[in-house]
Amino acid sequence: MKPKLRLSKGGSAFRKIAMGSWRTAGDPSVYGLLEIDMSKALAYIKEKEASTGAKITVSHLVGKAAAIAMKERPEINGMIRFNRIYLREHVDLFYQVNVPGNPNDPVGKANLTGVVVRQAENLSAVQIAQALTENSRSIKDGIESELTKSVDALKWVPWFFIRTVLNIASFLNYDLGINLTWAGMPRDAFGSIMITNIGGMGGDTAWAPLVTYTKVPILLTVGQIKQRPWVTSEGTVEARPVARIGVTFDHRFMDGVHAAALQKIFERCFEDPHLYFG
């Protein structure tokens, strides 16, 4: 029996962009899972929130750990242009955030957008949290960023043409280095690495796909902290607060050696948060 289908007339601009982002599943993505004991990190967060008044989450610490890793291993901080690797000078973190939508919209009441924290290698975890909070608040208050302006502009692009527009904009912006801010397209809007906090939405474990036109070769998903069995260095098993971090990376850009180094740096940072997170 032929299924009864109807064309969806709704959908956010982000959903349209997602439709234009991926054609098939064939890509060079590699997926990994990193489990981190958050016992010391949670104590660090509690202490810093009390002393600074900043709202700090695990995703802010993950961002700082990523910045440290990319500073120590600069070969994984870059992009692919014309089948060659180009390295970045600074580590810019792209955080995906939810912002309230139109409450009268039957499709949904929240939209995804992004906020970039520049030169994160020079910031503490608290400063990253403060910068992210300030930028997110501006968007929620209706102050449009360059990225939100470009997303809004894409609402008017026909569905069948959205992939072409995204790829052309990426080619002109990243590959040719042409400034398209006059056309509403921000320069380097996605930074070095993407981070999305699925734990804030109740998510536990997930992997997200790379978005080719952003030229970002690494993406992290930060899951909700849960009590899990943990084997200590003494060989005993304890219940510890553990966060799962889903890792997606472009195999053309990095390989298992880099992923293993990334894991060791993350473990080192979360083992001594006062030393590494500032």
Quote the pLDDT of residue 8. Answer: 47
- How far is residue 243's CA from residue 257's CA, in Å, rounded to a whole number? 23
Helix ranges (H only) for the chain are: 13-21, 39-52, 58-72, 125-140, 146-153, 162-170, 256-271, 273-277
For domain 29-144+190-277, the CATH architecture is 2-Layer Sandwich (3.30)
- How far is residue 4's CA from residue 106's CA, in Å, rounded to a whole number? 21
The one-letter code for the residue type at 19 is: M
Q: Please check whether residue 173 is in contact with residue 180, taking contact to mean a CB–CB distance below 8 angstroms.
A: yes
Write the CA distances from 43 to 36, 229, 270, 273, 274, integer angstroms. Answer: 14, 19, 11, 9, 10
Angle at 264 between CA 259 and CA 266, to 5 degrees: 95
With a CB cutoff of 8 Å and minimum separation 6, the contacts of 89 are: none
Q: What is the mean pLDDT of each run of 10 residues along the chain (278 residues)?
A: 44 58 65 95 96 94 97 92 88 82 48 84 96 78 58 69 81 83 76 92 89 90 95 90 95 89 96 94
- How far is residue 69's CA from residue 259's CA, in Å, rounded to a whole number? 10
- How far is residue 50's CA from residue 45's CA, in Å, rounded to a whole number? 8
**pTM of the entire structure?**
0.82
Quote the pLDDT of residue 6. Answer: 44
